[in-house]
Amino acid sequence: MKIVRDLDVKGKRVLVRVDFNVPLKDGEIRDDNRMVAALPTIKELLNKGASVILFSHLGKIKHKDGEEAIKEGKTKNNMQYLVDHLASLLPGVNVSFCNDLRGKSLKETVSALKPGEVLLMQNTRYEAGEQKNDPELAKEWASLADAYVMDAFGTSHRKHASTYGVPEILKAQGKPVALGFLVEKEVQALSRCVDVKDEDRPYVAILGGLKVSDKIQVIDSLLKKCDKILIGGAMTYTFKKALGEDVGISPVEDDQLDYARRCLEEADGKIILPVDNIVTDAFKDWTIKKVSKEIGPGFEGMDIGPETIKLFQEELKGAKMVFWNGPMGVFEQSDFAAGTIAVAEAIANLPDAFTVIGGGDSAAAAAQFGFKDDFSHVSTGGGASLEMIETDGKLPGIEVIRD
Ligand code: ADP
Ligand code: MG
């Protein structure tokens, strides 16, 4: 697979699929991490004398929901909000914006672009054909460029026009396509969690978060690869109920009980469940918050308890590789953050382990509690990192780049 450093693009126009899907509030960027993460690739291309055309989706636009919804989506998720900030991240570089996603004026703007200049296109999802990988749209976008670079890890699991159709066409035309530095880094780190080497054992996975149904494929995949799987978060209660426990008013997915039971059988002791919980009488008036082994009628599990923290710390000792997805409790509320903090800290303090976070909320938790820099890799793509594990490392937006 080619990487952006391998490309000879002097005087060429390079279309770069970036992930500029940043959180916006009233047109203000609340976190520019994703923009900053794309800079090494953009700078590499500029230094090589290319002109750079950036395109990305931003937020959701509901094309099915009629004119009003489309208009609202477009106003809320206008890529123009990002131009000034992008320019400030690239001092000395001429950064411009093009509102048109198709047609003559786009073509002319692109033709006028000089080496060393950057053009940011409008939100790709303004076009209804983007998410359908519409061949006409892909053809038009492909016609803008001499080369293509994929640096949008967060959307590499989507087979859209900008992530799949365009590179497919350019590749067929014999034009160079490559991965950007951000995707290269993600692939290197997550591949290690997928193709496990002996020196990376014991390999421990920690899974939490909300729903079992969201994570079935991840659990199945990790069961084959890991030596231990520690389960926390709201997922716990479906597993506990499957074992016959009374989990009170805790969130349970009743349609996943059979799966959970089968999973525990097949896991043959690999899956470790919490031995105590922080529970509340949440739906009454939150008067009671206590540690409890069994959850029991009228109570809701909100976090793993202190004995479980000790158990998980013990299980993590000596681990050579850790994959973490999903908070251990409702960490957004300080009363229920202790489990997530302790687990993040225990992983962060492992002396010589390769440690990876995949999952948006887990990454946010690690950042919030100050452990982010202690991990070997924190994926920028929540959904994409999970799909990487589920599919044994084969994401369409990355595979299409392969020679
Ligand atoms: P990630 O984005 O890391 O994959 P998820 O999206 O699966 O994680 O889950 C994150 C959410 O799970 C958080 O908002 C957290 O509050 C919630 N959660 C964790 N434990 C519980 C629990 N015991 N009860 C309810 N929600 C929980
Ligand atoms: Mg999430």
pLDDT tens sequence across 157-209? 999 999 999 999 999 999 999 999 999 999 999 999 999 999 999 999 999 99
- Predicted confidence at residue 238, as pLDDT, reads 95
Ligand 1 centroid vs 217 CA: distance in angstroms? 17
Confidence category of residue 374, pLDDT binned at 50, 70, 90: very high
Q: Which of 279, 330, 375 best tests ligand 1's pocket when mutated (most atoms within 8 Å of CB)?
A: 330
- Do 162 and 55 touch, CB atoms closer than 8 A? yes
- β 271-272/277-280 pair status: unpaired
pLDDT, residue 213, reads: 86
Res 21: pLDDT: 95
Ligand 1 pocket, residue 280 CB under 6 Å: no
138 pLDDT above the threshold of 90: yes
Give CA–CA dist 274/240, Å, rounded: 9
CB of residue 360 inside a 6 A radius of ligand 1: yes
What would the DSSP string read from start to end of 168-226?
A: HHHHHTT--EEE-HHHHHHHHHHHHHHS--GGG-SEEEEE-SS-HHHHHHHHHHHHHH-
**Average pLDDT over every residue of 107-112:** 96
pLDDT at 226: 97
Q: How much is the pLDDT for 316?
A: 98
Any atom of ligand 1 within 6 Å of the Cβ of 124: no
Distance CA 255, CA 270 (A): 23
Q: Is the predicted pLDDT of residue 360 greater than 90, yes or no?
A: no
pLDDT of residue 99 exceeding 70: yes
Q: What is the mean pLDDT of the chain?
A: 95
Go through the domains of the chain in sequence order and give each one's CATH number.
4-185 (3.40.50.1260), 196-390 (3.40.50.1260)
Judge contact between 49 and 9, C-beta under 8 A.
yes
pLDDT score recorded for residue 286:
73
Does position 284 have pLDDT exceeding 90, yes or no? no
CA dihedral 129, 132, 135, 139 (to 10 degrees): 60
**CA–CA gap between residue 363 and residue 381 (Å, rounded):** 10
Q: What is the pLDDT of residue 263?
A: 93
DSSP state, 77? T
397 Cβ closer than 6 Å to some ligand 1 atom: no
Q: Residue 283 pLDDT more than 70?
A: no
Ligand 1 centroid – CA 368 distance (Å): 15
